[in-house]
Amino acid sequence: MLQKTIVERLNEEIDALQDRINLIQAQCSHPLIVRQTENKGDTGNWDRGQDSYWTTHVCPLCELRWDTDQNWERTGDGRGMPKKRDT
């Protein structure tokens, strides 16, 4: 039986820590009161139908980052929450 290399063991530790981060981020409520948002856009395209506008959200509690359409306050539940990730 071959022994695991240091790198293989470190990669297993990294995977376990990433799983813990994913769990923390999935359980966080990402409260709007502390969430940082920044409106962004990609304009000036030859075809104006290709222009796009979005809001980047950052939760300072769990460090999750996600994007929503810029009218997130007027769609869905108005909270601009991230979409559920497949785990």
Would you say 80 and 58 are in contact if contact means Cβ atoms under 8 Å apart? no
With 0.75 as the threshold, say if the pTM is over it: no
End-to-end CA, the chain:
31
Within a domain: residue 87? no
pLDDT of residue 81: 82
Give buried/exposed letters for 5-24 (b at 16+ CB in 10 A, else e).
eeeeeeeeeeeeeeeeeeee
Within a domain: residue 1? no
State how many domains the chain has: 1
User: What range defines the domain where residue 35 resides?
Assistant: 6-74
- What confidence tier does 69 reach under pLDDT thresholds 50, 70, 90? confident
Within a domain: residue 86? no
- In angstroms, the CA 85 to CA 22 distance is 9
Would you say 36 and 57 are in contact if contact means Cβ atoms under 8 Å apart? yes
Highest mean pLDDT (candidates 20-24, 32-36, 46-50, 82-86)? 20-24
pLDDT of residue 72: 76
